[in-house]
Amino acid sequence: MKRFLIALTAALAAFFTSANAGAPADSYKEMKVYPVLCTPTLSSLMGALTIDYAVHVASTFMENPEAHIMIVENPDTETAAIIRITRNSACLIFSGVDLQHFSRPDGMAPPKASINRNTET
């Protein structure tokens, strides 16, 4: 019984003291105003980008349950764009040139904190 209580206490201590990822201490929020180009559907926007710039989908991720982000690129012309997709629209948020790719450095330590998957910030 004593071993069980020690193990339980150690497990609870480890659980409650695990690190969580957070914003840097010197961070702050800002609202940025910039123009975006939106269409009612993703197919409309992707059709234009595919024809005009020959882009393909490079990666996607979920911003929150109602919005997804898509990164499109054309490595031949070194161009890329970021698209935000919701149920009501697809918006070209940023586009640019001089596309570069980076790899995770060999031997990089694993993260010290768990990923906070709550994107409702």
Q: What would the pLDDT profile of 63-103 be if each residue is shown by its tens digit?
A: 999 999 999 999 999 999 999 999 999 999 999 999 999 99
Identify the residue whose tokens are 């349950």.
65
Question: Which band of pLDDT confidence, cut at 50, 70 and 90, is reported for residue 5?
Answer: very low
Q: Write down the pLDDT at residue 57.
A: 95
Least confident of 10-19, 30-39, 44-53, 81-90: 10-19
Helices and strands of the chain, counted as H and E runs: 2, 5
Mean pLDDT on 16-29: 72
- The pTM assigned to this predicted structure is 0.70
Q: What would the pLDDT profile of 112-121 be if each residue is shown by its tens digit?
A: 877 666 555 4
| Domain coordinates in residue numbering, the chain | 35-100
CA 76 to the chain's CA centroid: 24
Q: Is the pLDDT of residue 107 over 90?
A: yes
Q: Which residue, 94, 58, 91, 60, is CA-closest to 74?
A: 58
Identify the residue whose tokens are 């702050």.
28
Look at residue 68 and give its three-state secondary structure.
Answer: strand
